[in-house]
């Protein structure tokens, strides 16, 4: 059978039935459509957390963390902000998601109380959120967004991750994956180095 996707330009490949499951906008049929819709939704969440006054600090607890994912992807996916119901080759067992998030929030409190370096905390937070992998999709972007909320509140800085490049097979994506894999082995230096490399003051976002 002919693969019609092979004649399409990069990014315009059609989504499979499995990839379309839970999709809300009916106009989305290609990978480019999906990336554009998710980027628009993410931009709306960014405005709320970085460009608008907030009434209270972000709490790194399950309620705020799950709400953040829904705010980032809720216009695109029906399952946004909801725990995945199946196990994946990445992430903890689905039955352990709440437990692992609670352990992470306790660790974050401990790290701050013992004045661990803020960039080391941001790297550890990034790794743990991504490795828990609570959602069907969007976990990497959600983890990076949460890290920036943390840095904004702690140091009024952000990590300007090249999000468009991280969606593609690029050198920075390879470095990110390798740094997260090293953190799986409790080797945090590569990820800390990446965080330092892209951190800058929160001005003119």
Q: DSSP string covering 86-125, please?
A: S--SSSS-GGGHHHHHHHHHHHHHHHHHTT--HHHHHHHH
The pLDDT assigned to 57 comes to 86
Q: How confident is the model at residue 164 (pLDDT cuts 50, 70, 90)?
A: confident
Per-residue exposure over 67-88, b if at least 16 CB sit within 10 Å of its own CB, e if not: ebbbbbbbbbbebbbebbeeee
Lowest mean pLDDT among 4-8, 15-19, 146-150, 190-194: 4-8
Calculate mean pLDDT across residues 86-95: 96
Six-digit token string for 140: 């990497």
For each of the domains in the chain, give its residue range(s) and CATH number, in order of start. 11-201 (1.10.3290.10)
Global confidence as pTM: 0.90
CA 149 to CA 191: how far, in whole Å?
A: 18
CA 178 to CA 9: how far, in whole Å?
A: 28
The pLDDT assigned to 169 comes to 65
Q: What are phi and psi of 85, to 5 degrees?
A: -100, 0
């Amino acid at each position: 059978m002919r693969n019609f996707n092979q004649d399409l330009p990069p990014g315009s490949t059609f989504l499979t039935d499995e990839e379309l499951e839970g999709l809300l906008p009916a106009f989305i049929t290609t990978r480019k459509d999906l990336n554009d819709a998710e980027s628009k939704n993410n931009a709306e969440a960014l405005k709320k957390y970085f460009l608008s006054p907030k009434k209270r600090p972000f709490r790194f607890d399950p309620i705020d963390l799950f709400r953040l994912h829904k705010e980032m992807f809720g216009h695109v996916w029906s399952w946004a902000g909801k725990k995945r119901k199946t196990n994946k080759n990445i992430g903890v067992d689905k039955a352990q998601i709440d437990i692992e998030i609670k352990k992470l929030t306790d660790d974050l409190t401990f790290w701050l109380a013992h004045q661990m370096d803020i960039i080391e905390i941001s790297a550890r937070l990034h790794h743990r959120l991504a490795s828990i992998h609570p959602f069907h999709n969007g976990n990497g972007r959600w983890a990076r967004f949460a890290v920036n909320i943390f840095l904004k509140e702690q140091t009024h800085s952000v990590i300007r991750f090249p999000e468009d490049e991280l969606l593609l097979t690029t050198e920075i994506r390879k470095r990110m994956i390798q740094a997260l894999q090293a953190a799986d082995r409790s080797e945090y230096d590569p990820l800390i180095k990446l965080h330092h490399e892209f951190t800058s003051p929160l001005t003119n976002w």
